[in-house]
Amino acid sequence: MLDLLNEEEQAQYEFIQSRIERMKEERQSLIEQAQLRKLSEFTALKDKIVCIIGGKGGLGSIFYQIFAGTNSTKFTFVLDLDNQEQAPELLPYADLVIFSVPIHQTPELIKHYSQWLKPQAGICDLTSIKTPALEAMLEAHTGPVLGMHPMFGIATPSLENQLIITCPGREQDYFTPYLELFKILGARIVETQAQKHDKIMTHMQAVRHFNTYLQGAFTASEGYSLEDLHKLSSPIYGLELIMIGRLFAQNPELYADIIYDNPMSEPALQRYLAKIDQAVANLKQGNKQAFLSDFEQTAAYFGDYAQDYLTKSALILEQAIKLKEIE
């Protein structure tokens, strides 16, 4: 569209764009100033020592930076593969211990490291499946326990507008100042029960990631040229292709853990497969009415949200169109 502009219109467009960018920078600067002010006033953790087990990679490194980078605690340290032998010496000093380890290792490592914790210390984990970790923490430790699930990845530059889900375990008030720090840095905190969390995450993460993996694998097996797909894509398909492709730019072990280490994944995927099988059977039979009927029932389920999602997706598609213009 920019090639339709004459020289004067192009200059006006560039001026407006530069002003928008300046306003964004000013807004971000204002937010950062407020955060710095709040951090300077925040003293609730100044005498606390925090340990991140598995803090040299993934989410653990992010939470290490949250505490160490803000100077909000007395001291923050990491236990990982290269210094795990120091656990008996260091852990008795910790006021909060965060487990950031693979899902399948979490219960075992909680049991192992909890033997050196002081009784009044708080412990929490960052796994995407809460029930096994919470049960392990409650069994291994007599002090405060909290399940946490940060709904963001390692590429996240800050906590601003990021969601952290918490699942209560024991003595929740103990964790209030720690959660307050996350809020100061811009995070949203939402509490839910572990079983409800795990059921929703099975759908939201395990099934969705598995479906995305299959879409990517199917696209590759069909032998399409990505250049051709990209060139001929509509904005909505181009966006979907981006979301599929980004999965394969990340660590496959993370997604394998999310899918394979969740005991609810297999039955949920079986139900999903049954839905696909029925839809394909209707297609084979030429039963378009079954498709229309199912479509209408699903639309009724989404209700007013459907129109809301349509409006919001239009805004996202505007950005997708701009991405294609940049290319």
Q: Please, are residues 236 and 316 in contact by the beta-carbon 8 Å criterion?
A: no
Phi and psi angles of residue 144, each rounded to the nearest 5 degrees, phi first: -60, 140
CA distance 75 to 94: 9
- Domain range 197-323, CATH class: mainly alpha
Question: CATH number for the 42-192 domain, one of 3.60.20.10, 3.40.50.720, 3.40.50.2300, 3.40.350.10?
Answer: 3.40.50.720
Residue with tokens 């039979």: 285
- CA dist., res. 73 & res. 39, Å (int): 11
pLDDT at site 32 = 78
Rounded Cα distance between 164 and 102, Å, is 18
pLDDT of residue 325: 57
Whole-number pLDDT of residue 151? 95
* 166 strand-pairing partners: 148, 191
Give the integer Cα–Cα distance in Å for 241 and 239: 5
pLDDT, position 2: 65
pLDDT at 157: 79
Please name the helix (run of DSSP H) or strand (run of DSSP E) that holds residue 282, with its range, or none: helix 265-284
Contacts with 256 (C-beta within 8 Å, 6 or more apart), sequence order: none
Coil, helix or strand at residue 113: helix
Per-residue confidence (pLDDT) for residue 49, from 0 to 100: 97
Give residue 1's pLDDT: 62
Give me 68's structure tokens.
């160490």
User: Angle at which helices 130-140 and 194-201 pack, to 10 degrees?
Assistant: 150
The C-alpha torsion from 292 through 298 and 303 to 309, rounded to 10°, is -100
Residues of the chain short of pLDDT 50, as ranges, are 326
Residues of CATH 3.40.50.720 domain(s) within the chain?
A: 42-192
Query: What is the three-class DSSP state of 111?
Result: helix
Reported as type and span, the H/E element at residue 163 is strand 163-170
Q: What is the DSSP string of 40-90?
A: HH--TTTT-EEEEETTTSHHHHHHHHHHHHHT-SSEEEEE-TTTGGGHHHH
The predicted structure's pLDDT at residue 246: 93
CATH 1.10.3660.10 in the chain is located at: 197-323
Predicted confidence (pLDDT) per residue in 132-185, tens digit: 999 999 999 999 999 999 999 887 878 999 999 999 999 999 999 999 999 999
Distance of alpha carbon 102 from alpha carbon 86, whole angstroms? 20
